[in-house]
Chains A and B, each alone.
Chain A
Amino acid sequence: MDGNGKGARRQTHVLLLEPFELLGTLWQRVLGEDPDFGRVEAFSDPWVALGELGGFDVALTGSSLSQEQALAFTREAVLSHPGVQVVVTGIPRTESAVVQAAEAGAAGLVLRDQPIEEALTAIRAARNGEAHIAPEVAPMLMKRLAELTVSLSDVDTVGRRYQELTGREREVLDLIALGLTNQQIAERLVVEVGTVKNHVHSILGKLDKRSREEAAGYLRSLPPGLA
């Protein structure tokens, strides 16, 4: 988003969760040398760090944390500050560790055997809404996404079917969810009852639902902000 505009580029503020004083200082030095990074603060206590997270773009979990601690922090951070991207370091190169970090909501993954440059790249990418995943690790995550999709295939978790509805159909669906009959919907929208029936038929088809009640239930199950 920042493009290449000179001077307009905003620095990335990084919060570091690292209980080892020495490692925290090393990180601050490394990030401090790079003009891309602005404020860099190290915290040793996860609860204190969570409280301060608001002013930062990226949170980085240091490698002296156990993975369990790093992921617990990540989950809490993602819930309390959805705008902050969390980069997790020190991840063992195993399928379960990689998958767990992604499931916890990490925006960047830095493996134990990767060099510091990779961590810097991960922080920059996370800031821009991007990510770098090592080619050997990517298939683990691709496979996981496919598995999750199959296990949740009967629920439309991202409202993809809702996106297929026209504006008018969404309007009708809202009224169905309010419990209105076709007759009442027709009056409300000033159209023929037959037209409403057509809309309802099309809505049920697109949502793959058998009844108005099911369609209304679907509407309520959508993630907030979609409908």
Chain B
Amino acid sequence: MNDLLLIDRGVDFYQGLLTELHNDPETGTIYPCETAEDALTRRLEGGYAAVLINAGTLPPREALRLTQEINQRYPAVRVLVFGLEPATETVLEFIEAGADGYVRGTQSVHAIAEALRDMLRGEAVLCPDIAAALMGRIAHLAGYRAANGSNGTSSDPTAALSQRQREILGMLQRGMTNAEIAAELCIEVGTVKNHVHHLLGKLNVKNRQEAAEVASNSLDFEGEIGF
């Protein structure tokens, strides 16, 4: 069922994996192949469930490029890389490239088989350093994108608003006037006007009524909650 493609210059792991996965009901046939080119041009059309890449035996960067390529061209095919240098940054680069599982070094065929089973189940066991680096990088990239004009998945216009602007938008939604908002927030009316002006700009609308409509139509926006 779950046929596997093993990209490896050597034969050691092929033999080892054959033995290790011999009686595994989850995994199907393992097809060995030696080069990235071979994998990309001929083999991958065959509908494999997963590709195993021995990064240790491929030329530098080739395993990374291959991971990227498979992830983009065959998004349904899962990729497990093993034989990785242990550095956190190395592992993270492979995850960025779209790897679904990893094994540092070539500890044992057993470890590789375990990671493979996790991956086929839709799971991944991350080392604590990798998990922390993964979350840190996601926050960094999300912050970078937010700061440089988000054009990504967040199509909700209210996502671009600051905390204060969200708060004020919530009040606009409730039909409050600038003076009422100023009194509620204990700030100057001029400051409120400024906030409203910027908020209309960010939402790309002409007046407060339109802003209130955007807020009401937004799935993500909950003005009253905030803090």
A-to-B contact residues, CB < 8 Å: 46-47, 66, 68-69, 72-73, 76, 78, 99, 102-107, 109, 125-126, 128-133, 135-136, 138-139, 141-142, 144-152, 155, 157-158, 223
Q: What is the interface size of chain B, counting residues whose CB is below 8 A from a CB of the partner?
A: 39
Checking A66, A68, A142, A148 against B141 with a beta-carbon cut-off of 8 angstroms, the contacting residue is: A148
Q: How far is the CA of A107 from the CA of B132 in the complex (A)?
A: 7
CB pair B139–A103 under 8 Å, yes or no, is yes
Q: How far is the CA of A151 from the CA of B144 in the complex (A)?
A: 11
Checking A68, A102, A125, A130 against B138 with a beta-carbon cut-off of 8 angstroms, the contacting residue is: A102
Q: Which residues of B contact A47 (CB under 8 A)?
A: 227
Q: With A136-B122, A138-B131 in contact, is A46–B227 under 8 Å at CB?
A: yes
CB pair A131–B135 under 8 Å, yes or no, is yes
CB pair A72–B134 under 8 Å, yes or no, is no
CB pair A138–B96 under 8 Å, yes or no, is no
Nearest CB on B from A102, distance (A): 5
CB pair B145–A152 under 8 Å, yes or no, is yes
Contacts A/B (CB < 8 Å), 6 sampled: A69-B225, A76-B163, A107-B132, A130-B132, A132-B131, A157-B141
Q: Of all chain B residues, which has the CB nearest A221?
A: B148
Task: Give the secondary structure class of B's interface.
Answer: helix
**Complex interface bits, B206-227 against A, C-beta within 8 A gives 1, otherwise 0:** 0000000000000000100111
Query: Would you list the 5 A-B pairs with minimal beta carbon distance, nearest first?
Result: A130-B128, A103-B142, A135-B123, A131-B131, A131-B132
CB pair B227–A73 under 8 Å, yes or no, is yes
Checking B123, B129, B138 against A144 with a beta-carbon cut-off of 8 angstroms, the contacting residue is: B138
Interface of chain B residues 118 through 150 with chain A (CB within 8 A): 118, 122-126, 128-129, 131-132, 134-145, 148
Nearest CB on B from A46, distance (A): 5
Q: Given A131-B135, A148-B145, output 12 extra A-B contacts at Cβ < 8 Å.
A: A66-B222, A66-B225, A104-B139, A105-B143, A130-B129, A142-B95, A145-B96, A145-B138, A148-B138, A148-B141, A148-B152, A157-B140
